[in-house]
């Protein structure tokens, strides 16, 4: 399995077609996905993997499986996606860590590695992160990365939730 990035505790690697079960464990968990519109169905998890495979081919990056280096256990998802955020084409940094692994610094470690990856690609000049206004952990990660608050918007893709936007020029 291709490894995109190694950190002190994590391996960030490209998704493979056989990753459905491990990824679905976290994307279907109601606690992990409480800030999303709803936990994922098996079909949504499969579509997520397919979008990443297409993004790797088209852009050379996407979201990656976050695995513990010691054990290989899949604990999250992190990466960069070309997408529309608040009506603008953006490179969006996203990070999801499975709830049993919260508050251990994994989100920051993985997101920092993804941001370092972005800085190494001259075509990427700006990275954004967005999160529901009440997702304090995600906001803290963005701030720890040095991202600046750029305002908020009503996110039609997430239950019309007030959503915070953070930006960094890379």
49/37 Cα distance (integer angstroms): 18
Q: Is the pLDDT of residue 135 over 80?
A: yes
Which homologous superfamily does the CATH classification assign to the domain defined by 3-169? Gcn5-related N-acetyltransferase (GNAT) (3.40.630.30)
| Placement of tokens 């579509």 in the chain | 47
Confidence of residue 3 (pLDDT cuts 50, 70, 90): low
Mean pLDDT, the chain, rounded, equals 95
10/161 Cα distance (integer angstroms): 31
Write down the pTM of the prediction. Answer: 0.94
Mean per-residue pLDDT for 112-121?
Answer: 96
Mean per-residue pLDDT for 36-65?
Answer: 96
Mean per-residue pLDDT for 97-125?
Answer: 96
Q: Domain ranges for the chain, please list them.
A: 3-169
Confidence of residue 93 (pLDDT cuts 50, 70, 90): very high
Pick from 7, 2, 161: which is nearest to 95 by CA? 7
- Residue 80, SS3 per DSSP: strand
């Amino acid at each position: 399995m291709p490894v995109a990035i190694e950190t002190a505790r994590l391996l960030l690697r490209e998704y493979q077609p056989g990753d459905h079960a491990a990824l679905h464990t976290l994307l279907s968990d109601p606690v992990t996905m409480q800030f999303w519109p709803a936990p994922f169905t098996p079909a949504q998890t499969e579509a997520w993997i397919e979008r990443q495979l297409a993004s790797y081919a088209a852009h050379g990056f996407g979201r990656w499986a976050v695995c513990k280096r010691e054990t290989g256990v899949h604990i999250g998802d992190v990466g960069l996606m070309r997408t529309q955020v608040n009506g603008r084409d953006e490179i969006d940094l996203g990070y999801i860590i499975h709830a049993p692994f919260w508050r251990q610094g994994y989100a920051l470690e993985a997101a920092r590695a993804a941001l370092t990856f972005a800085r190494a690609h001259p075509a990427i000049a700006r990275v954004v992160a967005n999160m529901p206004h009440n997702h304090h952990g995600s906001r803290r990660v963005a701030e720890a990365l040095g991202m600046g608050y750029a305002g908020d918007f009503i996110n039609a893709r997430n239950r019309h939730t007030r959503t915070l936007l953070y930006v960094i020029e890379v």
